[in-house]
Amino acid sequence: MAKEVSDHESFAIRHRGGVMFERYDIDLHLHPYLGYALARNHRSEAINTDEEGFRHADSRFGSVDGPGWRAAGGGGVVLGNSTAFGMAATCDHGTVASHLALLRGDRQLNLGVVGGNSVQEVVAGLPYLDLADTVVVFSGAGDYWTSLASWTPFSAWGPLFFEGTLTSLTSIPLFQLAAVATGADPDWRPQPAPKPDAADRPDFADVVERVEAAAARQVRNLSAVRRLARPDARLLFALQPFATPRSRRLSAEEMEHFDFHMPMFGQEKNRPFEHHWGRFAELVAKGCGELGVPFTDISADRFEGFAFSDHFHLTDEGNRQAAVMIHEALAALPAPTTPPTAQP
């Protein structure tokens, strides 16, 4: 087993991006603005997506997707990564966005980007924030996790998941890549992609700087979301939970479902990923306070029963509990200065 070396790419390559993609028989595809997204207009009993690859949500008005949400005059949006998306939910009804919509009696648009970071969250929100009455950013792990695992943690946009795969793709000229994909260049052979030297791989000597950079990016991009949102929209940052045997008393069902003692990316005893999560949360909470954005910590110890499918992804019941916590946090915010978008 590798010692103090992170590898968040090889596992994804072996499992088409992750074992849950295999379970749901769905893949990630390149997206011109988001970087990557789920297959567009996918249909199944478990996951349905719209024309941009965003997952459908449920509501008392029926299924909610991007075009339908806009046509109906908007409502709420939930931004975030695979936790917000509901990667472990058994169906579209089981996600945070769906549970929140049923609690609020409105439409909630699920804009969760699987494997997304806070830059991708901003991009996801761009076409929709002008019609959003409530904006919930249910996030945190994307920036945190990639910063600790990345070869380039201090790049301008910040690190992202699947950076090795995307680096290989971006090394090929755009139109040549398209020709290869369509079979128009059958004689093309890939050149060996440059790989980072061992010295460039994370050894966590700079872990404090990485955590601080991750929190700064999260707050910077939350500030962008705040500027893009309507002045009368209720904006809430909800820090997603991180479940370990030390952050939560795990249920027997959770332990049977997933080995929470298994090292993350080969890290003995899940360090340093687990160790610095609290500091990241403190920095993000402080940044939210400086921005004037309400912050709530949906911490793992607030859940009961079989709530976690793994360290970050929630079961249907976990998503329901998270939605209740978010709903209560939204209800505690001051009333908007103008009436929210009416729901037909």
Q: What is the pLDDT of residues 54-72, one digit of tens each?
A: 999 999 999 999 999 999 9
Tell me, yes or no, whether 80 lies in a domain: yes
pLDDT of residue 180: 82
Range of the domain at 44: 10-331
Tell me, yes or no, whether 341 lies in a domain: no
Measured CA distances, 74 to 65, 66, 179, 217 (Å): 11, 9, 39, 28
* pLDDT surpassing 80 at residue 198: no
Tell me, yes or no, whether 253 lies in a domain: yes
Using alpha carbons only, how large is the chain's radius of gyration in Å? Answer: 20
Tell me, yes or no, whether 168 lies in a domain: yes
* pLDDT surpassing 90 at residue 8: no
CATH of the domain at 173: 3.40.50.1110
Burial class (CB within 10 angstroms; exposed 0-12, middle 13-18, buried 19+) of 247: middle
pLDDT of residue 297: 98
Domain count for the chain, please give it.
Answer: 1
Per cent of the chain over pLDDT 70 is 83
pLDDT of residue 341: 53
The structure tokens listed for 333 are 């915010």
Tell me, yes or no, whether 137 lies in a domain: yes
* pLDDT surpassing 60 at residue 121: yes
Position 313 confidence tier, pLDDT thresholds 50, 70, 90: very high
Tell me, yes or no, whether 3 lies in a domain: no
Lowest pLDDT segment from 224-238, 259-273, 298-312: 259-273
pLDDT of residue 193: 55
Tell me, yes or no, whether 5 lies in a domain: no
Amino acid at the residue 317: E
Tell me, yes or no, whether 336 lies in a domain: no
Residue 11 gets which letter from DSSP? H
Measured CA distances, 119 to 124, 160, 205, 336, 337 (Å): 9, 9, 26, 27, 29
* pLDDT surpassing 50 at residue 270: no
* pLDDT surpassing 80 at residue 311: yes
